[in-house]
Amino acid sequence: MNKQASVETPPLSHARDLTRPGFYVKLVLMALVNAFGLYGIFASWAQEQWGILGFLVVTLIIADYVYFSKRAIPAKYLFPGLVFLAVYQLYVMGMTGWVAFTNYGDGHNDTKKAAITQILATSEVEGDVSYPLTVVERDGELGFAVVQDGQPLFGTADEPLAPLDGATVDGDKVTAVDGATVLQLNDIVQRQDAVLQLRVPMSDEPEDGSLRTRNGSTATQSLPALHYDEAADTLTNTEGVVYKADDKVGNYVAENGDVLKPGWRVGVGLDNFKYLFTDSRVSGYFLGSLGWTFAFAILSVLTTFALGLVLAVIFNDPRVKGRVVYRALFILPYAFPGFLAALVWKGMLNRQFGFINQTLLGGAEIGWLTDGNLAKLSILMVNLWLGFPYMFLICTGALQAIPAELTEAGIMDGAGPIKRFFNVTLPMLMVSVAPLLIASFAFNFNNFSLIYMLTGGGPNYPGAPFTVGETDILISMVYAISFESQKQYGLASALSILIFVVVGIISWLGFRQTRKLEEIM
Amino acid sequence: MTTSVSTGTPKRSAGQASLAPAHRRPKGWLWRWCKEVGWKHLFALVFIVYCILPLLYVLSASVNPRGTLTGSNQLFQSVTGEHYSRLMQTGFPRWMAHSLYVSTATAVGTVLMAAAAAYAFSRFRFKGRRGGLTFLLIIQMFPQMLAFVAIFLLLLSLKDVFPQIGLGQHLGLIAVYLGGALGANTFLMYGFFNTIPKEIDEAAKIDGASHAQIFWGIIMRLVSPILAVVGLLSFVGTYGEFILARVVLQHQDQYTLAVGLYVWASDERNAPWSLFAAGAVLAAIPVILLFMFLQKYIVSGLTAGGVKG
Amino acid sequence: MRKSLIALAAGLTVALTACGGGTTGTSSTEPSQSTDPSASQSEAPAASGSLTLWADETRIEAFKQLGEAFAEESGVTLDVVQKPTGDIAKDFIAQAPTGQGPDLIVTAHDGLGQLVENGVIANIDFASKADKFNPVAVQAVTLDGKVWGMPYAMENIGLVRNNKLVQDTPGTFDELIAQGKAVEGAEYPILIQQGEAGDAYHLYPVQTSFGAPVFKTENGEYIAELGMAGDEGVKFAEYLQKLGKDKILSADLGGDQAKQAFLDGKSPYMITGPWWTTEFKDAGMDISVLPVPSAGGQPSAPFVGVQVAYVSAHSKNALAANQFMDFLASKDAQDKLYELGGRAPALLESAASLDDPLIKGFDEAGKDGQPMPVLPQMTAVWEFWGNTEVQIINGQSADAKAAWSAMNDNIKAKF
């Protein structure tokens, strides 16, 4: 895997040197990992979780290979992080990818089997008849005993209700039956699946319906309104209307277009991806938002980085007394949960009641969040507030890596502080920080929660075919399209994948630039 | 602002810095102090106002008997500790404990895994190294729109096999967070690792140290500033996260602070804003304390290491 | 073979749990069905087991207490889990199909269409109880001819008056505004919360007084045909524009701001619901609740919201869940929820003993009210409705008529 590395490695790895404590630490750790893995393999076998089983087997084999082999040294350091990455990040990606090709969402929430069960279960019409119920077990078969006009009746799934001999009746309820067991509520609960599914025909005539119970103590008349024909995969109602399964849309559909609810998930190919390009009204707004999304992401990175860097450089000066306290205060915005900060800013920026207008600006009525351009400015200012402590932190950290000799050399050359900063400090800093700026760009590109909490995308465009506003970035527009009214996970996935492709390509190009930076150093 | 102040006299200030005689006249000393240090205090004050104004507002709402997040614009017009004592009777103390546990565990795990990965990328040359680095960063950019469905299903299946890291477990949540341990953190550390001269490793190798000994014994000490930074970033990121946490932790007995506060805030009609504000104020304290504690590591690292090396 | 593996796995679990220091009893999400025979040996009076119920922060306390009463009666414990209001339906729809969702949820009735469309709730037996309930409540839980949940409380908005500032209320909305303007020291003649995304719900009494309900009705049920697309709707839109120009309505005035302004005595009137009256009274205000005066000549009819409990279609303890539904339909339970939640009970017998003048006032204000529609088409209405209104109010849409018909066209396009 890596020739260079193994050439450089010393002849003895700690794993083999029995005199070093590291060997025993590793042995114990690997024993634990193996125990955990084996346990998981057996448990997933027992639970029939085949996906997990396969993953565990493969991972365990790789783990043992990586840590017991003399080669693959980088893998020893990468492996733990990669395992977590694979489980928790790649899975989400895979799931999103899969959903993007389905119609998963409102109305298509589950499997076909579940849909049929639910359609049939809810198709029964509740009749007017209801009795206090006694559940009885006779000859190993469950049945219902009820009292009609003082006459005890009994029936099972196969035998319609018929007069019952040997029953003790108390008021309107059967309390005991000779030669049979009356089930107490406790027993009913335990056998509830059977009890809940039991339908006792009221008579020989199917039109009379049957008795069912939902609570174990009352029987109600139930008239099935749909008949399922498994072979033809159709549902027929009492009026003879036939609903055919349409596996392209995931619904039972009648000739006249009527649809039974719920439907089920089906693959829809590229339909979700095409959506953007087929509806010209939507794609127009999408393109409009694209520009703002870029402006927002780039400006957010630049402003937060500039402020964070300036503060980091200034307060890296040991002569400034009290900088320990200053730094802690600069971190404060970061210490507050972000969504809270957005809520607070939203309140403070309210045109009529907000702190900014009322107290700071003496009662001005500036529409910080209601005027399109000001709303954009407000978003950038709030994001600067939220984001500069992060940049301040990483810049402060990265500044420590710049050897003092370099700065001193600059002083010897007679370079001023500004020149020193741009010639020495900044390029050194960029090596470690530039990739993070790209990451920060990507993060802001998809910074849904800020937009959602602060302006909700507004002010909205009047008359748009969906709720879209001047401050909507692409991802918040995806939310508006696919979640605002109907939840359309399939569409949301497809659109977010498209966004990812855009951000991914831009970032990838960006990284190629930073590589050059690194080479210069 | 910075530029204008210092551009005026770059040369002179540099010259003075190196030649500064101790017996300068007090007036000149003060002038020089103002020019080189004093304005920094001024600068700090300006930004501190920007930083803490919204927070003062929250603090004021938290001690206002009728605090809301808008409309109570006269700061500190009346003060009561009532909300803080009421807060203690809610689930808040428990949420706080959960948050500290989850965030600390995540931060430690993240630091270890990201540092190990950064070490591999910085010190070894292997196939796919550059691509791997880029891949790590780009994969984190994937929009998490469906994460709440995916994570739920994943932890549901995991629950059958490993109940301890399944749905409804804090360990499960920590594991989810550790899924994001690589990525930007690795990059940050990678850059920092690269600034540590390779000669240090090589000297140790000649002395017979193994790669693990170099990593744990030498490198990890030299990079302590960045460990502290990543630890803090990870702690803060986890501490304020509620989107995944509320999927994993389904029961209010298990909530973390961010989830608890989010649930309060999402009450459209009767949100307890003053309790919420008080909770937010208290929530910020651990982060500040942690930063104060880590600050000395963040700013003192390489100088100390450099001397040793 | 399989058995020995399971035994081995169990052994390892014990070992691992010991190593891990024991992740102690956070077992609340464990499935709660009692199919395991060993679980049934409790001395509970009848059934046993437990049910999980999701409720939001405003309802959780009431249902915790109700759960204790239910446990005493039935032996079934109710595990009440708190969820944010906006997450209940969304999370339930996502989680119910896995079998891991709750057995019951409690929410407002307006999400019914979505719950049915996704097949996550089961219908209930209701025929024998139907005439014991307020007809509006029954209409609210009925969809496609079936009853899907147990209504327990109703709420609607009305006109809340600050009796310190004015004591009598005129018959029309315009007169009310004139009166409000004349009140000394009052900044607003009336407070109707809007916010940047608008709030069609709080404007609905005004809208209906123009004879422009959101959907047309047939035999007392909504049909999927817009009732506000005609001239009546346009008149209302123009009225909105006028209120906006006169600064009676403002997008800056969100719920919190409106509440605060009313608390501060800055307005004699506020259109709001029962959720804030406790706070007003606690602040020492003397208030009355009245019907909203008509602006367009016809009676004002607010939306009636009904609080409902639903049974999951995927509940593993459906029997106990239905027993809980029966329990919820009892007078004792409805009385208790009235006492704890302060909303008019849906059960007529309980509603008859209403004694709180404010709740009675809201009841009166909602006497012409219709339930908030549960038609699936309603989601399309919500998407555009408030937004369009707020754009007319703040002048962003200069032509009220054009904006209103664009809204109707957009809504119809989504049907």
Q: What is the mean pLDDT of residues C269-278?
A: 93
Please write the tens of the pLDDT for every residue from B174-227.
999 999 888 888 888 888 888 888 888 899 999 888 888 899 888 998 888 889
Task: Give pLDDT, residue A519.
Answer: 63
Question: Is the domain of A365 the same as that of A417?
Answer: yes
> Smallest Cβ distance to C196: which of A32, A370, A484?
A370
A513 vs C124, which has greater pLDDT? C124
Q: What is the mean pLDDT of residues A354-383?
A: 90
3-state secondary structure of B198: helix
Say what the ipTM of the complex is.
0.86
Query: Per-residue confidence at C220, pLDDT binned at 50, 70, 90?
Result: confident
CA-nearest residue of chain C to A46? Answer: C6
Domain count, chain A: 3
| Rounded Cα–Cα distance for residues C232 and C242 (Å) | 15
Average pLDDT, chain B: 82
- Indicate the burial class of B300 (C-beta count within 10 angstroms; 0-12, 13-18, 19 or more): middle
| All structural domains of chain C | 12-155+304-371 (3.40.190.10), 158-301+377-413 (3.40.190.10)
Note whether residue A268 is domain-resident.
no
CA-nearest residue of chain B to C84? Answer: B263
C-beta contacts of C337-343 below 8 A and 24+ residues apart: C337/C62, C337/C66, C337/C152, C337/C153, C338/C153, C340/C61, C340/C62, C340/C65, C340/C66, C341/C58, C341/C59, C341/C62, C341/C153, C341/C307, C342/C274, C342/C278, C343/C153, C343/C154, C343/C155, C343/C274, C343/C307
| Rounded Cα–Cα distance for residues A468 and A487 (Å) | 16
- C5 has pLDDT over 70: no
Please write the tens of the pLDDT for every residue from B67-79.
666 666 777 877 8
Cβ neighbours around A404 below 10 Å, total: 10
Please write the tens of the pLDDT for every residue from B8-60.
333 333 333 434 444 555 567 778 777 777 888 888 888 888 888 888 888 88
Q: Which of B106, A350, B122 is nearest to C255 (CA)?
A: A350
Q: Which of A34, A67, A31, A401 is nearest to B211 (CA)?
A: A67
Q: What is the mean pLDDT of residues A26-36?
A: 93
Domain boundaries, chain B: 29-80, 90-294
Test C84 with B149 for CB contact under 8 angstroms.
no
Test C82 with B252 for CB contact under 8 angstroms.
yes
Interface list for C 71-130 with B (CB within 8 A): 81-87, 91, 94-95, 98, 100
CA dihedral (B34, B38, B43, B46) in degrees, to 10, reads: -110
Which residues touch A243 (CB under 8 Å, ≥6 apart)? A226, A234, A235, A236, A237, A252, A253, A254, A258, A259, A260
Test C57 with B253 for CB contact under 8 angstroms.
no
3-state secondary structure of A101: coil
Test C85 with B266 for CB contact under 8 angstroms.
yes
Helix axes A372-399, B224-239, angle to 10 degrees: 150
Note whether residue A106 is domain-resident.
no
- A191 has pLDDT over 70: yes
Q: Which of C376, C380, C364 is nearest to C412 (CA)?
A: C380
Q: What is the mean pLDDT of residues C87-110?
A: 92
- C62 has pLDDT over 50: yes
| Rounded Cα–Cα distance for residues B193 and A118 (Å) | 59
Task: Kindly provide the b/e burial profile for residues C298-325, where b requires at least 16 CB atoms within 10 angstroms of the residue's own CB.
Answer: ebbbbbbbbbbbbbbbbbbbbbbbbbbb
Residues of A whose CB is below 8 A from B283: 335-337
Cβ neighbours around A519 below 10 Å, total: 8
- A275 has pLDDT over 90: no
Test C57 with B169 for CB contact under 8 angstroms.
no
Q: What is the mean pLDDT of residues A140-156?
A: 91
> Smallest Cβ distance to B171: which of C23, C56, C86?
C23
Residues of B whose CB is below 8 A from A88: 151, 154, 175-176, 178-180
Task: Give pLDDT, residue A339.
Answer: 81
- C19 has pLDDT over 60: no
**For testing the chain C interface, which of A34, A41, A42, A351 should be mutated: the one with the most C CBs within 10 Å?**
A42
Instruction: State phi, psi for A467 to the nearest 5 degrees.
Output: -75, 105
Residues of B whose CB is below 8 A from A479: 145
Query: Per-residue confidence at C280, pLDDT binned at 50, 70, 90?
Result: very high
Question: Is the domain of A214 the same as that of A355?
Answer: no
Calculate how close chain A gets to B28, using CA atoms only, in Å.
17
Test C16 with B164 for CB contact under 8 angstroms.
yes
Test A2 with B71 for CB contact under 8 angstroms.
no
3-state secondary structure of C413: helix
Contact assessment for residue C149 and residue C278, using Cβ atoms and an 8 Å cutoff? no
Test B164 with C23 for CB contact under 8 angstroms.
yes
Test C256 with B250 for CB contact under 8 angstroms.
no
Test C29 with B168 for CB contact under 8 angstroms.
yes
Instruction: State phi, psi for A222 to the nearest 5 degrees.
Output: -135, 130
Cβ of residue C57 closer than 8 Å to a chain B Cβ: yes
Query: Per-residue confidence at C109, pLDDT binned at 50, 70, 90?
Result: very high
CA-nearest residue of chain C to B246? Answer: C83
DSSP C373: P
Query: Per-residue confidence at A365, pLDDT binned at 50, 70, 90?
Result: confident
Task: Give pLDDT, residue B274.
Answer: 85
- C72 has pLDDT over 60: yes
Test B266 with C29 for CB contact under 8 angstroms.
no
> Smallest Cβ distance to B270: which of C29, C58, C86?
C58
> Smallest Cβ distance to A462: which of C40, C128, C403?
C403
Test C57 with B246 for CB contact under 8 angstroms.
no
Domain boundary among A69, A100, A131: A100
The pLDDT > 90 percentage for chain C reads 66
Q: Pairing relation of β-strands C344-345 and C215-218?
A: unpaired
> Smallest Cβ distance to C23: which of B156, B169, B252?
B169
Query: Per-residue confidence at A423, pLDDT binned at 50, 70, 90?
Result: confident
Question: Is the domain of A310 the same as that of A457?
Answer: yes
Cα of C213 vs its chain's centroid, Å: 19
CA-nearest residue of chain C to A33? Answer: C16
| Rounded Cα–Cα distance for residues A215 and B237 (Å) | 48
In the block, which residue shows the tokens 């990121």? Answer: B237
Test C117 with A107 for CB contact under 8 angstroms.
yes
Count the residues in chain A.
521
Residues of B whose CB is below 8 A from C257: 70-71
In the block, which residue shows the tokens 């780039």? Answer: A298
Question: Is the domain of A500 the same as that of A449?
Answer: yes
Helix axes B170-178, B92-123, angle to 10 degrees: 30
**Structure tokens that stand for B307 in this block:** 């001397």
Note whether residue A107 is domain-resident.
no
- A23 has pLDDT over 50: yes
Test B267 with C261 for CB contact under 8 angstroms.
no
Please write the tens of the pLDDT for every residue from B263-273.
888 877 777 88
> Smallest Cβ distance to B125: which of A2, A12, A435?
A2
Q: What is the mean pLDDT of residues B154-167?
A: 90
Contact assessment for residue B244 and residue A53, using Cβ atoms and an 8 Å cutoff? no
Question: Is the domain of A301 the same as that of A243?
Answer: no
The most distant pair of C-alpha atoms in chain B lies apart, rounded to whole Å, by: 78
Residues of C whose CB is below 8 A from A114: 97, 119
Q: How far is CA C344 from CA B269, C154, C369, in A?
A: 18, 5, 14
3-state secondary structure of C42: coil
Please write the tens of the pLDDT for every residue from C344-382.
999 999 999 888 999 999 999 999 999 999 888 888 899
Test A2 with B127 for CB contact under 8 angstroms.
yes
| Rounded Cα–Cα distance for residues C369 and C217 (Å) | 13
Test B273 with C256 for CB contact under 8 angstroms.
yes
Task: Please tell me chain C's helix, strand, coil percentages from 3-state DSSP, rounded to the nearest 5.
Answer: 45, 20, 35
| Rounded Cα–Cα distance for residues C153 and C340 (Å) | 11
Question: Is the domain of A178 the same as that of A239?
Answer: yes
> Smallest Cβ distance to C93: which of A109, A351, A456?
A109
Please write the tens of the pLDDT for every residue from A330-341.
888 888 888 888
Question: Is the domain of A19 the same as that of A167?
Answer: no
- A328 has pLDDT over 50: yes
Query: Chains near C, with 3+ CB pairs < 8 A?
Result: A, B
Q: What type of residue sits at position A429?
A: L
Calculate how close chain A gets to B80, using CA atoms only, in Å.
20
Note whether residue A351 is domain-resident.
yes
Task: Give pLDDT, residue A1.
Answer: 37
Task: Give pLDDT, residue C318.
Answer: 93
- Indicate the burial class of C4 (C-beta count within 10 angstroms; 0-12, 13-18, 19 or more): exposed
Please write the tens of the pLDDT for every residue from A387-407.
999 999 889 888 877 776 776
- Indicate the burial class of A135 (C-beta count within 10 angstroms; 0-12, 13-18, 19 or more): buried
Note whether residue A15 is domain-resident.
yes
Test A402 with B142 for CB contact under 8 angstroms.
no
Contact assessment for residue A508 and residue B138, using Cβ atoms and an 8 Å cutoff? yes
| Rounded Cα–Cα distance for residues A443 and C413 (Å) | 35
Average pLDDT, chain C: 86
| Rounded Cα–Cα distance for residues B170 and B164 (Å) | 8
Q: What is the mean pLDDT of residues A21-49?
A: 90
Query: Per-residue confidence at A481, pLDDT binned at 50, 70, 90?
Result: confident
Q: Which of A286, A226, A289 is nearest to A261 (CA)?
A: A226
- A45 has pLDDT over 80: yes
Question: Is the domain of A158 the same as that of A85?
Answer: no
| Rounded Cα–Cα distance for residues C142 and C374 (Å) | 9
Question: Is the domain of A493 the same as that of A348?
Answer: yes
Contact assessment for residue B220 and residue B196, using Cβ atoms and an 8 Å cutoff? no
| Rounded Cα–Cα distance for residues A506 and A388 (Å) | 23
Chain B and chain C share a number of CB contacts under 8 A equal to 82
Q: Which of C183, C197, C211 is nearest to C267 (CA)?
A: C183
Q: What is the mean pLDDT of residues A365-375?
A: 90
3-state secondary structure of C190: coil
What do you get for the CA distance between the two ends of chain B, in Å? 39
Any idea which of A242-256, A477-491, C158-172 has the lowest mean pLDDT? Answer: A477-491
Calculate how close chain B gets to A112, using CA atoms only, in Å.
19
Calculate how close chain A gets to C411, using CA atoms only, in Å.
8
Residues of C whose CB is below 8 A from A463: 397, 403, 406-407, 410
Task: Give pLDDT, residue A165.
Answer: 87
- Indicate the burial class of B8 (C-beta count within 10 angstroms; 0-12, 13-18, 19 or more): exposed
Cβ of residue A257 closer than 8 Å to a chain C Cβ: no
Q: What is the mean pLDDT of residues A183-201?
A: 89
Q: What is the mean pLDDT of residues A247-254?
A: 93
- C18 has pLDDT over 60: no
Interface list for A 157-176 with C (CB within 8 A): none
C-beta contacts of C168-173 below 8 A and 24+ residues apart: C169/C269, C169/C290, C169/C293, C170/C293, C171/C293, C171/C294, C172/C293, C172/C294, C172/C295, C173/C206, C173/C209, C173/C292, C173/C293, C173/C294, C173/C295
Question: Is the domain of A73 the same as that of A10?
Answer: yes
DSSP C300: P
Domain that holds residue A232: 112-260
Could you please state the CATH topology (level 3) that the domain comprising B90-294 is classified under: MetI-like fold (1.10.3720)
3-state secondary structure of B251: coil
Domain boundary among A67, A100, A133: A100
Task: Give pLDDT, residue A484.
Answer: 79
Task: Give pLDDT, residue A246.
Answer: 94
Instruction: Give the CATH number of the domain where residue A78 resides.
Output: 1.20.58
Calculate how close chain B gets to C279, using CA atoms only, in Å.
10
Question: Is the domain of A288 the same as that of A254?
Answer: no
Note whether residue A450 is domain-resident.
yes
